[in-house]
A and B are shown apart, each in its own frame.
Chain A
């Protein structure tokens, strides 16, 4: 139970800090503090928490789907595929509603992720590093296609807002789509056991009576929706799905039903912390939270790989 107290305290501390940190001085009185909180600070805080939680959970699902802990959506081409879909909609139907853009992005993300899965079947499993490398190249190729398309249509700066996740645009009325992530988190938690079995591999999963293909597809649909929502609303934040699940599994083992809430919590807290740092580092200007996370995340990941003490858990 002590863990929950720590978790709630950390969350409360970060939310409090996030509400207090910003360009407008809440106590100076020249602007209505309640308005600033309601319009800017709280939406931004929720957006960071939801995006972080969503990406971390998406990381778990992808890792279980290919039985490799070194991958995450950003390493299997999911955000790049979402961007390709978004760019296509932007070019073909610039006036399309957000829902249409979202759906196309999610569909495109799903196709891209399935493409990786198909590739992954033919990658030898002996070396765990091989699969992330394949994913890196795969994502790189799709990313290059996105960049080429944007380049020829002079949209390079436009795709820039999807590529570097940041929360300065998250205002009341602009971020609410991210609450979809909360719903998906609930669904994932309900199906935590199935995802655990998914992680045992196709043969074992089938022998345990799991509809492997359906579970896999459902999981990847949820991943695609999460990633697309995040890319559309705030931009892609790499490494969250890689770092967070690995930290949690090192710390607490692999009981997903118990750990999924923890994964969501840590993902949300870390991204929110990065956003707060991003607001302060070049105050009053903004540094993307995605950039901060990439720096911190890389550090944490290296520490995990080389220095962290291993602890066994059941």
Chain B
């Protein structure tokens, strides 16, 4: 009898455990997560991006105007606070099976964990691209959509390869973020650095070791670095402001005199995609397509 029970237990427990949780890679290391959760809340736009790419629908989202391509993912969802501050009461009422936090809501992971299983899926730093890929793998594992995840990542690899080919030998790149009338430069370990590292774009100013918010620079700096290409992220446009467009900010003799300015190689990237949902797979695919078509307008 005893042995039968033990055998039964041995036979049952692993399957039981398998059905209940799955161990995946998060920003804070490997973590056991409930498998195939039904009600999902995502507080980070990159996460919403990844989940919708996998064909999943989130139930709760932060209060923000999403980049246009995420409008569908935001339709018929419940608002559960802001990007920075979750609405804990609304969340408690919803009783989600899984909360995906990260990025701007990273600091809220601990309190959120008291409401429902919460994973920190922040993507940051110089491992940005690898982390972004790891997140897709993790979501695939949580929802049993490994096949779909593999397909998405294969598409990403193909897009990266195509972009690398297009950019080869086209010169160096300086990434600038404009905010009002001022500019900051971003290096290869910044939040936009994956454009340099993953796409193999040479840095126009390799000493730039920018932190998340970039280094404040003058237009003289841009003139002196004299990049062949300038990639512009308009902080104003990212937050739905067209008053002081980046083009106006950069329309001055110092920028016009650079190689990029003279050759018309100043590329304005879709900043909502890059800034708000940066690291999401659809966001990256979109940005890579923009980069590729900038370098090889005919290829795409």
- Residue from A22, A35, A151, A173 within 8 A of B218 (CB atoms): A22
A23 contacts B252, CB within 8 Å? no
- The answer to whether A36 touches B180 (Cβ under 8 A) is no
B218 touches A95 (CB 8 A): no
B243 near A95 with CB under 8 A, answer yes
Partner-contacting stretch, out of B144-152, B220-228, B277-285 = B220-228
Nearest B residue (CB) for A95: B243
CA distance A158 to B213 in the complex (A): 13
- B58-92 at interface with A (beta carbon < 8 Å): 64, 82-84
- Contact, CB under 8 Å: A151 / B84: yes
In this complex, how many residues of chain B approach chain A with their Cβ under 8 Å: the count is 31
**C-beta contact mask, B217-247 vs A, less than 8 Å → 1, else 0?**
1111101101000000001100101110000
Which chain A residues lie closer than 8 Å to B221 at the CB level? 23, 284-285
B182 within 8 A of A: yes
A171 near B217 with CB under 8 A, answer no
Which of B82, B179, B217 makes the CB contact (< 8 A) with A286? B217
Given the contacts A94-B242, A158-B239, A285 and B220 also touching, CB distance less than 8 Å: no
Contact of A157 among B82, B183, B235, B254 (CB under 8 A): B235
Determine whether the beta carbon of A31 is less than 8 Å from that of B216.
Answer: no
Contacts of A168 in B (CB 8 A): 182-183, 216-219
Chain B residues closer than 8 Å to A94, beta-carbon distance = 241-243
Complex alpha-carbon distance, A168 and B252, angstroms: 13
Question: In the bound complex, how far is the Cα of B254 from the Cα of A69, in angstroms?
Answer: 43
Which listed residue (B82, B181, B216, B243) contacts A152, Cβ 8 A? B82
Q: Mark A138-171, 1 if CB is under 8 A from B, else 0.
A: 0000000000000111110110110000101101
Chain A residue numbers with a CB within 8 Å of B242 are 94-95
Taking a contact as CB atoms under 8 Å apart, the answer to whether A158 and B180 are in contact is: yes
In the complex, residue of chain B having the shortest beta-carbon distance to the beta carbon of A28: B224
Q: Which of B194-231 contact A (CB under 8 A)?
A: 213, 215-221, 223-224, 226
Whether A171 lies near B252 (C-beta < 8 A) is yes
Interface hits, A24-66 → B, CB 8 Å: 24-25, 30-31, 35-36, 39-40
Is the beta-carbon distance between B219 and A171 smaller than 8 angstroms? yes
Which B residues are within 8 Å of any A CB, using their own CB? 64, 82-84, 179-183, 213, 215-221, 223-224, 226, 235-236, 239, 241-243, 249, 252-254, 257
A-B contact pairs, 28 of them (CB 8 A): A23-B218, A23-B223, A24-B223, A31-B223, A35-B257, A36-B254, A39-B253, A40-B220, A95-B243, A154-B83, A154-B239, A157-B213, A157-B235, A158-B235, A160-B179, A161-B181, A161-B182, A168-B183, A168-B219, A169-B180, A171-B219, A174-B181, A174-B252, A284-B221, A284-B224, A286-B215, A286-B216, A286-B218
Chain A contacts to B: CB under 8 angstroms: 22-25, 30-31, 35-36, 39-40, 90, 94-96, 151-155, 157-158, 160-161, 166, 168-169, 171-174, 279, 284-288
